[in-house]
Chain A
């Protein structure tokens, strides 16, 4: 909400995401900081940002299909795997450049994702969620059984390369990852304001009413699945070339469940919410990693390595708390903070 007396005089002003000069200043400052960060940042933070950015891309895709279009998908990890394997095969076996393989792997994941969206013609809500779980298991069963995916050994994709410059370290591939992440976020933020995005919201709020209004339900649902799987595929490709190992163990149902959790905590139907959710959960995980050895020292009966199981538990409990007390997620809190900051010292 904006204080009274703020008027938009031109269409451009009304549509702007960054309305005033201060916003632009903050944006440019943040971008510059992000791009010069490897010059002084430690290795730990650089790889943390790499990981965060890839997760943000996946959850952005999930946000479009689940948060905006209302079709809950548990298959995001499997589609990420498809993207990662496609990219690894194209670069490793066919010898293509990474920069060509990146969009192709997104498109391949998207096209296979259309198969995931196909049941949405007849089923929705919980039924569709179950169908995506089934798709996850079928895909993750197929991968270690095919010859082209390296069976259970996995694949080792090469590092991206421009000319003789090889992006083989965390600091170097950092630039690729954050650039792609920013582009994808920009795309998502704008897509939800177009005809497509508004159709998604209409389908989420009431699909029958949306159909009556003239939205082609099936086409838009399939489109939502295509876009979300495209995002997952891109993220998978980045992941493959960052870690340089692709293995079925990296894409479990637990990962997909984590992405759903990030979406809920961040807040459905909000692009900034994706950033909040991913960063919040990731920091929580780091906190548990830090606290778990201390707890294990105080209470020896919980075992030597409690971090993995404790982070799952903490994740579940935080999710329960959010679902009960703040179902609209951190994004809603952020909106409240923004409007109270803008209206200060008045209440409305």
Chain B
């Protein structure tokens, strides 16, 4: 039991971050029907901006968080404005390919900034650790898990009680109908990218703490996509649950089976899971099944 908890609790912490990445993807998909590969980069740059504020510019913690949020939202807005808006009305698959092009374009910039090095701020922010049920837990990770839950709560309230949030839900249902009720769909698209970029950058700050700012960081976005698919592409609660499940599964599988197969199972477990989901339940846990007509 102790061994299981030692594997499961860190998995749960990572899983929270996965579900936050997935939340960004789900938000964009819900309103615009675009599946975004670019979120991995938004996440990586969120972490990078935070690192710049904290380590390079020696800003205090709240200011660096604010800086990272502002820069990422700006980036999310630019991505929507410059690349995705010209594609409104085009087939959705070309928007998907566009997000992949954005991923590549930003990936080059990310690597150019890193120059093959690995940046970290984990040492600056270590608040120590404590033991719960004889499992060591880092305080920062616990805080970031709390932030994850808070962000999900915030999103849930936002979509339920604000006018903009309701407008976004209406847009998700039908673009033309919501336009005819006076909702500006373009503004909604911009806003949704801004919000999801902010969510992604929060995830980035948390993820970069755990795994350093290094060239594989953007590929967490693919994990986020897997989580989003697992939970159902248009379901926020699904994203939360699926992220936690994936985080735990990944760690537990790797912990128990790695000695048997010779390592590296952590990276591939998610993809095996994805294949199984796609074969058995392509619309995910809570996803809406859409019926197609010719």
Binding site for B on A (CB under 8 A): 72, 118-119, 122-123, 125-127, 129-131, 133-135, 137-138, 141, 144-145, 206, 208-209, 212, 257, 260-261, 264, 302-303, 306, 308-317, 319-320, 323-324, 327
Contact = CB atoms under 8 A, between A and B. Distances in A.
A309 B112 CA distance: 6
A324 B108 contact: no
A320 B101 contact: yes
A319 B275 contact: no
B92 A125 contact: yes
B158 to A, nearest CB: 26
B94 A323 contact: yes
Given A141-B264, A316-B102, A320-B102, A130 B274 contact: yes
Nearest to B262: A145
A264 B272 CA distance: 28
Contacts of B156: none
A306 to B, nearest CB: 6
Contact of A309 (B111, B267, B279): B111
B35 interface: yes
B113 to A, nearest CB: 9
A261 B104 contact: yes
Contact of B97 (A264, A302, A317): A264
11 contacts: A119-B278, A122-B279, A127-B229, A130-B278, A145-B262, A260-B97, A261-B101, A309-B112, A313-B104, A315-B108, A319-B105
Interface stretch (B83-91, B139-147, B186-194, B238-246): B83-91
Given A122-B282, A130-B225, A141-B264, A306 B112 contact: yes
Contacts of B213: none
A119 B108 contact: no
Interface in B98-114: 98, 100-112
B93 to A, nearest CB: 6
B57 interface: no
Nearest to B108: A313
A222 to B, nearest CB: 15
B94 A316 contact: no
B87 to A, nearest CB: 7
Nearest to A129: B96
B279 A119 contact: yes
A316 B274 contact: no
Is the contact region of chain B dominated by helix, strand, or loop, or is it mixed? helix
A306 B225 CA distance: 29
A131 B222 contact: no
A319 B271 contact: no
A33 B264 CA distance: 49
B104 A141 contact: no
A260 B274 CA distance: 22
Nearest to A123: B282
Nearest to A311: B108
B111 to A, nearest CB: 4
Interface in B251-294: 261-262, 264, 267-268, 271-272, 274-275, 278-279, 282, 292-294
Contact of A316 (B90, B104, B293): B104
Contact of A324 (B86, B112, B292, B293): B86
A158 B223 CA distance: 39
B294 to A, nearest CB: 5
A137 B219 CA distance: 12
Contacts of A311: 108
A269 to B, nearest CB: 13
A119 B274 CA distance: 11
B102 A137 contact: no
A141 B261 CA distance: 11
A163 B31 CA distance: 65
Contacts of B35: 126
Contacts of A144: 264
Given A127-B278, A130-B226, A316 B272 contact: no
Contacts of B163: none
B115 interface: yes
A138 B264 CA distance: 11
Given A130-B278, A131-B274, A316-B103, A324 B87 contact: yes
A150 to B, nearest CB: 14
Contacts of B92: 125-126
Contacts of B267: 137, 141
Given A134-B271, A320-B98, A312 B262 contact: no
Contacts of A125: 92-93, 96
A303 B108 contact: no
Contacts of A316: 101-108
B112 A208 contact: no
A312 B104 contact: yes
B101 A323 contact: yes
Nearest to B265: A141
A315 B226 contact: no
Contacts of A209: 294
Contacts of A137: 267-268, 271
Given A312-B111, A313-B104, A135 B275 contact: yes
Q: Across chains A and B, which 3 residue pairs bring their CB atoms closest together, nearest first? A: A313-B108, A316-B105, A316-B104
Contacts of B105: 312-313, 315-317, 319-320
